Amino acid sequence: MELAARGVRRYAVIGLGFLAVLVLLIVLFPWNSLRGPVASIASGRLHRSVVIGHLAVDWGLPTRITLDDVTLGNSEWSTTQPMATFPRMVFSFRIPSLLRLSPDHVALTKPDVLLERNAAGDANWRFGDGNNGSALGAIDVDEGRVRYRDALLPASVDGTLQTEPAASRPLRFTGRGTLRGDPFEITGVSEGFAELRDVNSPYHLVVDAKGGATSMAFDGTLVPARVEDVEGMLHLKGPDLSQLYPIVPTPLPWTPPYNLQGNLRHANGQWIFRGIKGTVGDSDLAGDFTVDTSKQRHLTTADLTSRKMNYKDLGGFIGLPPGASSRSARTADQQREVRKRASTNRVLPDKSFSLDRLRDHDVDVKFRGTSFKWESIPIDQLTTHIVLKDGVMRFEPLDFAIADGHVVSNITLDANKDVPTAQVKIEARNVELKRIFPQLASPNGSAGRFGGRAQFRARGDSVRALWASADGEAAVAMRGGEASTLRLVLTNIDLASAAELLIGGDQTAAIHCAVGAFHAKDGVLTPDLFVVDTSAELITGTGTVDFRTEQYDLHLKANSKKPSILALKGPVVIGGTFKTPAVHPEVGPLVARIGASVGLGVLAGPLALLPLIDLGDAPDADCKALYQDARVQTGTTEHIARPNKPVRSKSPVKSAAN
């Protein structure tokens, strides 16, 4: 027994001695001499060159391994070396983690990391086969620096990283740089650094970015290996949606300031913005918006609605600076257009269409608007389906209710040719005149209803150019209602009747019919037939509306149906420009009548009234014949409008010149 005990003690002493020697060897071992082999192992696993300047081991609980002056090589395709430098890396191990060679904690001091993606989509943060590391514990970064360069976006950002002193060790970052050539700033907070070890798994972050007056807030996830693959809540705010191009790769028009939020998701080449809510200018907007970039021709699809819309917010669709009510909020481009328009007498927009965007993108957008504000004109239930396919844009159709009536338009713009071509067809039905022109209504508030048809063809690269080349036909007709007698007699410059109405109060005149037929040639609109027949006056019109020079030259001649002893008889001229129209009596006939009155007055005083007497013998128009004439002159046999009941005419009026 004693012999056995002495043997146990001897083996115990030997074991303890061996352990002591082993501990001494471990403690005193020149671990720095292993920095080369460790670097070689790391280089093999990462498929990158790794250099370690110094390696030290501090045995204890926990055990700490310190690496100084570590550099990590960049991808072969990169022109910048190295990818990262680490002045100090400290790995902490408890005994279980030491046995697994998986640190419980990593501390990085002043790391400097370059993240790159080239034009082919290769990213330098993808190492080897993707399985290149065991699980890591918490990672803390102190005074980190990160540089991001992306040739695909393109983007260039320099930022800082700092681990927050919280239990979850969130990583806070800030940065400045350029995106698509524009400067921007970014701040945010994300999950800890360790969660980045799996570059193919979603990584949660909260980001606020600002470029000029445009800001973005995102709360969601991204996949580090594919930084475009994101999903989360997005809040966008800025002065003009068109400034998002080409970040948002779709041809957006000028807009007023916007404030929109919704759920953003990107995967498989599709940007999907769902549950959109917010405002664009004075208009609210809701719906879904998708941009598919997976194919050569990008496709934008949207289904949008608005409960309240202001027409000024849509000016960008035709080249006008939108949001006139918020002048200070306009962008620099929009302000330049405002100053340009203020310095000219022109009204029609001459901003050229973005033909390359129209030719390179496809669009399928559905829109529904409940209430639409166009100055004082009430418009509701607006619906349209905009389809842009292979360079041809169609409104199929543009349909809205207006003034208790209805207007339907079909518009086609072909942008494939050197000079775009357009075709427009418009039909209006049962529109109440007094709600569009309240000043024409009678004291009883009635002004009749009208309908019409028009079709035009044009060529040009702007709205102004299209109107200046327009060819086509139009017809309009009104039925029933009443009009202000005062305004009608002033058309005839019937001073005696006007004075009577001013003293005794305005009256009403029954509208038998109003019919107009027009043709356009090379941008000049000419009335072939223009007749307004009422119980007080028979008004005919001639002249032109020139869209090339944007000038009016219309002459309205009124023949009274009631006698008057003091009528200058017009005609009244509607002249001037679209920007500054002018209404005045035609000078020649007016001077002739006054001259004749003065001459006769010299011979005999009472004779001076003869040239100013209106016998009031104008006939009633044959409204039925006028409707037929309007249909014939516009080349259509379709119904335009008709009076509430047949009007018996004393004699037909077949031409506006009669």
pLDDT in tens, 384-401: 999 999 999 999 888 888
Residue 611 pLDDT class (50, 70, 90 cuts): very low
pLDDT score recorded for residue 157: 92
Angstrom distance (rounded) from CA 594 to CA 511: 31
pLDDT band for position 564 (cuts 50, 70, 90) = very low
Classify residue 564 by its DSSP letter: B
Q: Is the pLDDT of residue 633 over 70?
A: no
How far apart are the C-alpha atoms of 302 and 388, rounded to whole Å? 12
Share the mean pLDDT of the chain. 77
| Backbone φ and ψ of 181, nearest 5° | 85, -10
Calculate the CA 252 to chain-centre distance.
Answer: 5
Strand partners, 100: none
Residues 300-324 pLDDT 10s:
999 999 998 887 787 777 777 776 5
CB-based contact 550:346 (threshold 8 Å)? yes
Closest C-alpha among 40, 105, 95 to residue 66: 105
- pLDDT number for residue 163: 86
Task: Look at residue 214 in the predicted model and tell me its pLDDT.
Answer: 86
* 280/11: higher pLDDT: 280
> What pLDDT sits at residue 294?
86
Least confident of 227-231, 405-409, 592-596: 592-596
pLDDT at 288: 96
Rg of the Cα trace of the chain?
Answer: 40
CB distance 539 to 494 below 8 Å: no
| Segment among 113-117, 184-188, 481-485 with least mean pLDDT | 481-485
Please give the pLDDT value at position 641: 42
Beta strands 182-190 and 203-211, pairing class: antiparallel
- Give the 3-state secondary structure percentages of the chain, helix then strand then coil, rounded to 5: 25, 45, 30
Give pLDDT, residue 4: 57
**pLDDT digit string, tens, across residues 146-161:** 999 998 878 899 999 9
pLDDT at position 657 = 37
Entry pTM: 0.71
Cα(353)–Cα(462) distance, rounded to whole angstroms?
6
HEC string of 103-162 equals CCEEEEECCEEEEEECCCCCECCCCCCCCCCCCCCEEEEECEEEEEEECCCCEEEEEEEE
